[in-house]
């Protein structure tokens, strides 16, 4: 029996052209795990207001960030897959996307046909939330391929140490007034209904700080970004936090994005361009980002080790 590992990321439009971006947004934003609004209320709002307004802007953002080889998120995710495969030469390591290609179910069926009757499914999101993980699990289970699902890895010591090392390396470069741990936001209603995401984000920040004794806790804050739509989302919003810091005279900031492991629109367009411009226009000076994991070989080794441990536990339990 050949061990199988399926890495999963969100996905990307097939191209940055408006039609492809609209198709991608329609599919992803129609996912019932994305919003807590009933479909009867959400779908008219999505199709009548959000898509007409958001598609053009999103397409422009994708065009600005698109690389010659394609979507940065897809390219970086493939690099991680290839590095993990190199660390697990006797495994079959594949990559799938929640929205877009390659699809989760079809990829799992191909893996089963290639001699992997049991596959470990590992979403590339450190913290669990319904908005990312539940759709992955639903699609994976619908394939009828036996799977083991890794729910999160935000509390893994090796991951936390790697994240702390990355923060330290960036923090040592300049004298920053503030370090902001900025996580992708979710609707507050999801937290009220039991989603553990907020708790896991705060635990991530706390655990990283415990590994950074030279970083004063009073210089660190947590914020949330990438919210959209009419519902209340987790606060404080990163953009608001940046303007508030400038008002307090804190004009040199370092941003950490622990909820994403590869460069994507959130880091390339939202942070490096939109939030940077907001900060500078408000009177800020230095605005830097700690790079995501991307093709860091230590991260790929961590994923390989994590999968190996889960596989060994699975064999032992069997």
| Residues flagged as binding site for Fe(2+) | 184
The CATH label, of 3.40.50.1400, 3.40.50.720, 1.20.120.1630, 3.40.640.10, for the domain at 4-154+296-317 is 3.40.50.1400
- The topology (CATH level 3) of 157-289 is Rossmann fold (3.40.50)
Q: Among candidates 234, 209, 233, which has minimal Cα distance to 221? A: 209
Q: Is 5 in a helix, a strand, or coil? A: strand
What are the tens digits of pLDDT across the range 16-57? 999 999 999 999 999 999 887 888 988 998 899 889 989 999
In the numeric block, the tokens 């495994």 are attached to 91
Q: Quote the pTM value.
A: 0.96
What are the tens digits of pLDDT across the range 253-312? 999 999 999 999 999 999 999 999 999 999 999 999 999 999 999 999 999 999 999 999
What are the tens digits of pLDDT across the range 48-92? 988 998 999 999 999 999 999 999 999 999 999 999 999 999 999
| Fold equal for 4-154+296-317 and 157-289 | yes
Asked if pLDDT for residue 318 goes beyond 70, the answer is no
Query: In angstroms, what is the C-alpha Rg of the chain?
Result: 20
What's the confidence (pLDDT) of residue 37? 84
**Both tokens assigned to 11:** 């996905």
What strand order describes the sheet that includes 4-11? 92-99, 4-11, 119-123, 147-149
Q: Among candidates 5, 70, 10, 61, which has minimal Cα distance to 34? A: 10
What's the confidence (pLDDT) of residue 71? 97
In this structure, the dihedral spanned by the alpha carbons of residues 16, 71, 165 and 239, taken in order and rounded to 10 degrees, is: 10
List, in order, residues 6 or more apart from 315 with CB less than 8 Å away. none
- Rounded to whole angstroms, the Cα distance separating 110 from 113 reads 5
What are the tens digits of pLDDT across the range 100-155? 999 999 999 999 999 999 999 999 999 999 999 999 999 999 999 999 999 999 99
What's the confidence (pLDDT) of residue 44? 92
Asked if pLDDT for residue 229 goes beyond 80, the answer is no
What are the tens digits of pLDDT across the range 161-206? 999 999 999 999 999 999 999 999 999 999 999 999 999 999 999 9
**Both tokens assigned to 66:** 């698109």
| Residues flagged as binding site | 184
Asked if pLDDT for residue 159 goes beyond 90, the answer is yes
Q: What is the DSSP letter of 92?
A: E
* Domain regions of the chain by residue span: 4-154+296-317, 157-289
What's the confidence (pLDDT) of residue 141? 97
What's the confidence (pLDDT) of residue 317? 64
What's the confidence (pLDDT) of residue 316? 62
């Amino acid at each position: 029996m050949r061990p199988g590992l399926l890495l999963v990321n969100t996905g990307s439009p097939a191209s940055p052209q408006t039609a492809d971006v609209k198709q991608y947004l329609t599919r992803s934003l129609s996912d019932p795990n994305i919003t807590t609004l009933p479909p009867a209320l959400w779908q008219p709002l999505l199709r009548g207001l959000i898509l007409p307004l958001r598609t053009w802007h999103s397409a422009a953002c994708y065009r600005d960030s698109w690389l010659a080889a394609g979507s940065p998120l897809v390219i970086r995710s493939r690099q991680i897959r290839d590095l993990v495969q190199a660390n697990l030469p006797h495994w079959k390591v594949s990559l799938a996307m929640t929205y877009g290609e390659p699809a989760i179910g079809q990829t799992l069926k191909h893996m089963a046909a290639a001699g992997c009757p049991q596959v470990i499914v590992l979403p590339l999101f450190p913290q669990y939330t319904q908005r990312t993980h539940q759709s992955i699990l639903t699609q994976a289970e619908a394939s009828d391929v036996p799977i083991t699902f890794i729910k999160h890895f935000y509390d893994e010591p090796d991951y936390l140490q790697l994240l702390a090392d990355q923060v330290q390396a960036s923090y040592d470069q300049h004298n920053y007034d503030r370090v902001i741990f900025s996580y992708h936001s979710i609707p507050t209603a999801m937290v009220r209904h039991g989603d553990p995401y907020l708790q896991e984000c705060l635990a991530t920040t706390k655990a990283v700080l415990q590994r950074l004794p030279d970083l004063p806790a009073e210089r660190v804050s947590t914020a949330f970004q990438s919210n959209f739509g009419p519902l209340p989302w987790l606060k404080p919003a990163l953009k608001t936090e940046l303007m508030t810091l400038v008002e307090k005279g804190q004009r040199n900031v370092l941003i950490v994005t622990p909820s994403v492991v590869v460069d994507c629109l959130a880091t390339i367009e939202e942070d490096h361009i939109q939030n940077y411009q907001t900060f500078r226009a408000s009177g800020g000076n230095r605005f830097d980002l700690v790079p995501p994991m991307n093709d860091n070989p230590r991260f790929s080794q961590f994923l390989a080790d994590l999968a190996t441990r889960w596989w060994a536990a699975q064999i032992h339990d069997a």
